Amino acid sequence: MPNLRVEKFYGDDRRWLGSTSGLSSARTVKVKLAGFAKPNGYIQSGTPVAVVGGEAVPYVADENVTTGAGVLAGHLATDVTIPFGSTDTHTAAPVMDSGRVKPSLVPGGFVVPAAEAKRANVTIVYAD
């Protein structure tokens, strides 16, 4: 019997984008899947990430954390699908670190970082 699996494909909700200018220059990063919320089996497009040790991890929004996971590296440019039954701990995904973003539409109740050190790795304009 063949090894079959069922996957659902959703259209990315990219309402969080203020323009498409940063999408073509999004960089591919290794995403550490642990710690991300994965409703419906995927990490949502627009999710803010930090890069620690060469791996994208969930961004820590606490203004007092200005190192490691507390430094914004950008936003996931696409949904990151986790195949049903997968035991993978990492995957590759594009991260947008420049362009325009509507903060009120970023998944997870994102608040634009006030501390300059938290925005040092991005050239994103945040405006609704």
d(CA 11, CA 124): 24
| CATH number of the domain bearing residue 83 | 2.40.300
Domain count, the chain: 1
Q: Is residue 11 part of a domain?
A: no
Q: Model confidence over 16-46: pLDDT tens digits? A: 999 999 999 999 999 999 899 887 788 999 9
Q: Which domain holds residue 68?
A: 27-126
pLDDT band for 9, please (50, 70, 90 cuts): low
Of 91, 92, 80, residue with least CA distance to 37: 80
Q: Is residue 16 part of a domain?
A: no
Bridge partner residues of 95 (DSSP): 27, 76
pLDDT band for 69, please (50, 70, 90 cuts): very high
Under 8 Å between Cβ of 70 and 50 = yes
Of 123, 118, 110, 128, residue with least CA distance to 47: 110
Listed in sequence order, the residues at least 6 apart from 120 whose beta carbon sits closer than 8 Å to its beta carbon are: 71
Q: Is residue 97 part of a domain?
A: yes
- pLDDT for 2 equals 66
Mean pLDDT, residues 66-72 taken together: 96
Under 8 Å between Cβ of 68 and 54 = no
Q: Is residue 110 part of a domain?
A: yes
Residue 8 has pLDDT above 80, yes or no: no
d(CA 43, CA 21): 22
Q: What is the pTM of this model?
A: 0.89
Bridge partner residues of 90 (DSSP): 32
- pLDDT for 6 equals 56
